[in-house]
Structure 1
């Protein structure tokens, strides 16, 4: 995998995979070895968004062919097995170079932590020797596969940096100069590599070259992103200018990873402020299956883990209640956490958490500063935000701000410098927040929703009742939260057929009651997002729209129905769109998710006079809306 894709038996015989789809499929399985990879995800890996209708059948054929070819080469039984609604390839750590690479990387890190620099150098060196070129070199990669390749490339670069730092600490600075220059040719904005090159040149007696290297870095940064080098590299530059004896070879043979808290390791492009003894690792658990969102996850992975990632990145994820924004952000953060060695900070801002008031920026900053070992100061918001920026400037951190209310809650929590990345989730589009990338989440596809139901309730049950499963996920509006609740109910009632739950969900009056289990409740989640107290006219319109059984409405129709001025209705519609209670995918077209409509209907108050409603319906009819709406409103 670490180079051109090659499969060899112990005898030396090599497997010839001529068809691109066979090579892509094998790569997709080997990127997640000894783990079930859902069929839907494999289809995304092979075809992306352009999957043909025959994709699932084609996938089965490719699996069967690949299984036979590997069995003929290996003679050790089936390596690829069907597992639930997916497939799994089984390999030992010493049979797959990616697994062996990560094992050696961990061994090197462990050796560093116990102070055995020689053992660390040997492990890191062996790990890098496994690479024969770029990941899956020569293979056309889909977007998700390319994202995985980017993560592995980032891991390679990080291990190479660790190896260079260890060799400099061992006094072997001369032999690091060439490899560092080659690495910088491909990664000219990597400040840690520049710092290592500067230190290696200085210890090799080439002070002028070390100072020229700093000028090269500065020119690259100004030309590419318009910033100056970080504080650690600037500090190293000043120490070289002053011929600081502490930089001499042999004075301190410990690499940065072993330097005690409070010291400023010369080889590490980090921060002039002392690092905490243990970098914070606050991400919530990522346990359980992650289904769907393959395209979004690939975009996040490629952006956050590519060489040079983290340079002032702010990624804003928005979507309606239950769309899985938090799950995606946490899963993506775990996937790229190794690219942020200075730690990960996390805060649930409680923007729409049932029963809890949103956190203020002051509260969150106090938590973050404590996590960075900054003493309590009791300062005001502006001072605390400035202090937070000071202590994050130059550090490479990943910060997840989950469940935000608006941009004003988020803005004081953005870190300083340009080496960290921020993931923000919110039901609202944070359009006033400067963001590098915006992701809008909507419903899952039917395949993804069914796969999620199967992961929660059991693949065999879903496979045995495909029509009932499809009906269930549609009644859940294909929203991840609702599908998870349905799956949890089935898992808690193993004797239920899927059709029984589908029948219970079919009753619109009780559907929201059915979509509640344990600490998961679609109704409570919706109620927390129903914050229209300051917009009473929008609230009235919301409950009125809940009584309509039509998929899409226009502003003129709503104005006639509500007997209000068109401008007032437009303002209320805009408020509902911002609150994610309505969706607008085209000018003057609005639709409401089915579960949100049921919630709105439950809160609707009947008008005092039925004739008033009928009169408005007739008005709509005369405007050309049509008889179906007339009958619907009179019936209501």
Structure 2
């Protein structure tokens, strides 16, 4: 039985016996310590948890008395835990499994990793986790600090239940879930996900009428309580039930482990992007524009996609109108919606190439197959959308040239564009001008926000307010939000404040000055800490703001960061941009509010405080990026770091963020690149180069060569200015690696040679090893095997001396290739076995898969076909578990070749055809042709020489088109052999 329990009333357990903890201070302190088990909890935090903002003068001594009592209790109960005095507070040291809170988190995490591979076991883990709960978390405790944490725990419990229901519904357990779901829906009537699960369980049980009644009751609750209609997913589910949509029924196809049986389909990525921001529930006015836009966009279907171009002054509601229209048309465009803010009103626009790359990845194209050029990306983008019904929304466009490459080719798609200027150069576009609201609509908008009753009671003052802000929608919303936050204020008093700022109101109807003065009124009403946070956020060059950013900027409690940001959301100074996979919200600025925040920061005279906040923010980006690398590679291997200070998040929060390190890097890519640029602009050379080279973990695995080059050139500039020789060498080495990845040896070699010389002068062994390894690769490609081997051996010695295990494994694998070329198969296999053992010790699945793939090829070349098949099958399982679609195609190709050598021609054909399908699905035609060339001999061996020749000739045509001469010659050889057999 778990001895430390907070998932319910706080209590201790001695075996089966519950031991009550005295209520009040002692229970609060124990709860706070358990929440942060194995981490230091400051005395100030404990005081805040017990007494809030008004502690007694004896607070510290009373905390110490409670700690002493808890220590005695732990000793009396003989529990394997202790409370240590650790500056600036205390640490509860215990095994994670001795806390129900930490056990719950671990079981949920275990379930997440099992969801795809073994849903039955995943559901069992979640059920086990849920049995740890005995009621609401920390129930019975009165503490403002702990209450917010308890709410998040309760939310995590509900999220785990919902995830469990999703899995069990997929396992066909809908009958068993109805009672449990009914009880939870009654207790949480506004929880739409639960309601949808209950509707689905009823529908699958043949109880359609009851499922629809559940929807009706839920809609009434939402309308009555919040004045909102159900969300899009719930409405779609109701429609599907009404229409008897067969897709709601369980998929009868077998699920489970990976098998290469003839009936298994290829693992293709099918993606329906739904990228629209949330709709504005109190959308007001512009009815004519809404109707015109809908009619025009619905009328598509011709040769070209219809375009609606919305223009207007800042703050006039362009974005609200675009998103509102898009939501109303979402059902009409069945293949989804693509959305991107191009940031045309900001100094640094989003490059078209980046937008195309993001859209292609959103449509299912893996990073390694995204072309590097704008024209190639645009062509692939048009091909993918040619037969789809997709709605594309492009926000804050600066010119027509930004839009043209992003227009779909198919008439079934449609485009909505917003811009400050009229984009008259867009062919056939419907031009809509958005202006200020008239008095009637302005009053309607204010009434929706503050309540119609309150407005009607002071109608004359409400009219004065609308006139004061000139009907500008953003200004109206800001004023109304402030009134909502202060219900004790009269509208007349608010109108009086505006009247006192007569000169500012004169500017209200003239461009950006309008919003600045309105924002000042909201800013003045905020607390000092909230104003400071807003100002600091203004200097954070981020596209969207993760929750932890507030903690880094304020050097505060990471667990309270969301509360501080929500204060800004309440005042409408920040917007919620979406929800992270961890369940935390992300925030964003309106562009003008960001400018306003930066102006406020400039007013502060304490330059050291501003610089320290920026250093913490950049230090936290660096801390998280290097931790992501460590989790992927098992340590700081093949990577150099500098001396920039780090600002670290609590381990529990860091673990939540980095459950999937590569996915986190992908999600934060834009922010991380912006952090490099900001560090460079501020002359912060150490953090700039360190973060740039750390991000290669992402750039290399997902083919972000533009980001790789841009970040490194930026960092190289600032390190040169600072005469930072180590940083310059690290960047040149990394840029050389980038050119090697793109097979541009002529560009890579001088950079690597210069970096190697610099590293040797500095006595930097790891850097010397990295450059030696890469220079060896260049020599190998140039046919200089002897020089390559010499450099590889130097790199191996240096990697071993600094303890870089992954670097050592890489070099051993490369040396094995030299052995294979010389037909020294035993030596090659021995090196690869050694490299594989190292990779397994580091825990890096990616490095393991790479080494094993080469080991399988070694077994194949030495005619050890049985072992080659076994290794290739293991690699296939690993890449599928990692969700690596591109790696799967390579593993299938290897396995198909092995099957062919073992005369398992049916299995060989199946694996190779599947590899071709995957390559085609990601539009890698060159790779697909290479696999076809392996497939042709297999078909010939089965007696279908004609089809084999057709495949080989099709592959040859592609090789000639792509100027792949070596592959074209191989195709000629195979075609000649096939002709001889006909």
Larger radius of gyration, structure 1 or 2?
A: 2
TM (norm. structure 2) is 0.32
Q: Which has the higher helix share?
A: 2
